[in-house]
Structure formats: structure tokens, C-alpha cells
Amino acid sequence: MGKDYKQIVILSGKGGTGKTTFSGAFASLINKKIVIDCDVDAANLHLILKPKIINRYDFSGGKKALIDNFNCQQCGLCESICRFDAIHNYEIDQLSCEGCGFCVRICPYNAIKFGSSQSGHLFECVLEDESKFYYAKLFPGEGNSGKLVSEIKRKALENISGEIKWVIVDGPPGIGCPVNASIAGADYVVIVTEPTVSGIHDLKRLLQLLNTFKIKAGVIINKNDLNKSISDQIYEYAEIHNIPVIGTIPYNTDFVKALINGANIVESNNKVREEISDILIGLEQEVNKTINY
């Protein structure tokens, strides 16, 4: 059975382009949706949307070693072979331990335990309009952020109702493992970029990644009037590679003021609300063309 909803992932090749601001705006303007913040290393969409937490789940991203002092004979073998320098004085530093398990295998006295390690929390929430919202927090220094992204999406989509028409995913920046996990199952990707040297460079890298997975994408140029020359380069690159520019937004200090106040830009500026509403119309047209292709 096919799904009834469309999954839209908002990405950026680099941080600071306005990706989360647009995600929050889309979440405010779209009905019959589920919203997921997949930037688990630095989740902040909840600061804009202000959801009510209804459930919290523990996340175990991997395993960590722990020495059983009762069985340990203090031979020092584990310390000598640990390539991460995590073992000193017959104790294992949990922040330094990478969970490779080699010390567990090498210990002649079976004195090292290897159990699941809690790495973060996953939150199930409701927004003011009763829509579901999911986000997660990875503990400092913990890895497996891609695994947590996959887990949060699984949790959000496992019992999705037929009333849901949109799944809005605020993805992480960059092109790494968490981004790969966030675009799994995506119908369309919206890339928020800016007219800077690093902005266009990372836009190209992200488009190359999406091309590898054959996922259609459109571009929003935020602060498009900051550098006309680079904005023109983005338009040219998008045209050559058949990537639609679905909207542009000029530089506006109200975006910064809204973030400082923890507010959603479309709730505090009617002109921007109209501009982003027009972008949403173009986005829906592109999504429908892609799905009906």
C-alpha cells in the first residue's frame, strides 16, 4: 500500500543559512502534518515551535566497556592495547571509550563488561494545533547521530494516520551520515542556501549527494540580495543542472529579531509570511510534478 503523505526534507550545505527558520515557517503554514527535527546534534526547532512534550524515550547508540573490579587481576593488558587511550589505572573513561570491544575480547579474565550505553533522548511532542512534533538530543561527545536520526524518523512514522498529508523534516547541515539518514524516504528536498562563497560551494556538494540517491530538490536563496554576483551564479548552476529555484528572500533584520525572541518569523512579520506562503505554493507544485513524473 502506498503512503498518502509527502515527506519534505529541508537541508542546507552549511549551517546558518536559515534552514531551521524556514522549517519553522513551513510547520506553521502547513496543516495536516508531522514535524521532525533531525538535527540531533544541535536541535533547536523546538525553541521556535514551543511544543508540549508528551513522551520521552532513552536512546542507546552503541556499547561501552566497563571493568568489573571483582574479576580484574590488574594485568594491564587492556590498557596496553586500547588505541583510544581510554583505560588508565584499571578504569575506563566513558567519554574516551569508542565501544570497539577489543578490550573485552582480549581480557584473559573476562573482567570487562560490554553493555549498551545511553547516548541521548528522543522526545514526542504536540504543537499548538495538535500536530505531532519529534526531536532528539544527543549527549555531548556521543556518536551515532545518524542512527538517532533513523530512530526518530521511525518513531514518528510508525503509527502515522491517513489524515497526515505532509511530513516536514528539518535536517542537519552538511553532507554527513545524519544527512543521509534524514533523506531516507524523502519525496523532495528543499535546500536553503545563501549567496556566499561557502554557501554556493556547499550547495554544490549537497546537490551531488542528492543526485547519488536520485532525490529531486529545489533551492531557496535566502538573503539573495547580499551578493548579486553569487546569486546569479546559483541561478546559473541551478539552470544548468535542471534544479528549480522555488523562491528567494531578501535580507531582513526581522529574521534575526525573531530568532532572538524565540519567535516564528511568519507569526511576527506579515510581509515575510506572504513571501514564504508563495514559496510553499511553488514547492507544492514542484513536489506534485516530481511524484507524478
Residue 11 lies in a domain: yes
- Which of 118, 137, 163 is the endpoint of a domain? 118
The residue ranking higher by pLDDT, 61 or 110, is 110
Residue 111 lies in a domain: yes
Residue 98 lies in a domain: yes
Question: Could you tell me which residues are beta bridge partners of residue 55?
Answer: 124
Task: Dig out the grid coordinates for 254 from the structure.
Answer: 526581522
User: Rounded CA gap, 199 and 220, in Å?
Assistant: 12
DSSP letters, 221-247, are: EETTTS-HHHHHHHHHHHHHTT--EEE
**Are 216 and 101 part of one and the same domain?**
no
Contact 13, 189 (CB under 8 A): no
The DSSP 8-state label assigned to residue 51 in this structure reads P
On the question of pLDDT at 68 being above 90, the answer is: yes
**Are 37 and 88 part of one and the same domain?**
no
Give me the count of residues in the chain: 293
Backbone angles phi, psi at 36, to 5 degrees: -130, 125
**Are 148 and 287 part of one and the same domain?**
yes
Backbone angles phi, psi at 8, to 5 degrees: -110, 125
Lowest mean pLDDT among 8-17, 20-29, 30-39, 211-220: 8-17
SS3 assignment, position 101: coil
Q: How large a percentage of the chain has pLDDT more than 70?
A: 98
Task: Dig out the grid coordinates for 29 from the structure.
Answer: 503554514
CATH number for the domain harbouring residue 99: 3.30.70.20
Q: Is 199 exposed, middle or buried (0-12, 13-18, 19+ CB in 10 A)?
A: buried
**Are 19 and 100 part of one and the same domain?**
no
Nearest to 44 by CA among 191, 187, 170: 170
**Are 44 and 77 part of one and the same domain?**
no
Q: How many CB atoms lie within 10 A of CB 120?
A: 23
Tally the domains of the chain.
Answer: 2
Residue 57 lies in a domain: no
**Are 41 and 155 part of one and the same domain?**
yes
Query: Could you read off the pLDDT of 183-229 as tens digits, one per residue?
Result: 999 999 999 999 999 999 999 999 999 999 999 999 999 999 999 99
**Are 216 and 112 part of one and the same domain?**
no
**Are 197 and 146 part of one and the same domain?**
yes
What is the structure's pLDDT at 15? Answer: 82
**Are 44 and 159 part of one and the same domain?**
yes
Q: Which residue range(s) make up the domain with 109?
A: 62-118
Q: Where are the beta strands (DSSP E) in 1-111?
A: 6-12, 33-37, 52-67, 87-88, 91-92
Average the pLDDT over 84-91 and give the result.
Answer: 94
Residue 56 lies in a domain: no
**Are 215 and 81 part of one and the same domain?**
no
Residue 168 lies in a domain: yes
CATH number for the domain harbouring residue 280: 3.40.50.300
Residue 123 lies in a domain: no
The verdict on pTM exceeding 0.85 is yes
Task: Dig out the grid coordinates for 71 from the structure.
Answer: 574479576
164-176: burial string, b at 16+ Cβ within 10 Å, e else: bebbbbbbbbbbe
**Are 229 and 93 part of one and the same domain?**
no
On the question of pLDDT at 1 being above 50, the answer is: no
Which residues lie closer than 8 Å to 130 by C-beta, 6 or more apart?
Answer: none
User: Rounded CA gap, 142 and 170, in Å?
Assistant: 21
Q: Which amino acid makes up residue 204?
A: K
Query: Could you read off the pLDDT of 115-167 as tens digits, one per residue?
Result: 887 888 999 999 999 999 999 998 877 776 888 999 999 999 998 888 999 99
**Are 222 and 267 part of one and the same domain?**
yes
Residue 55 lies in a domain: no
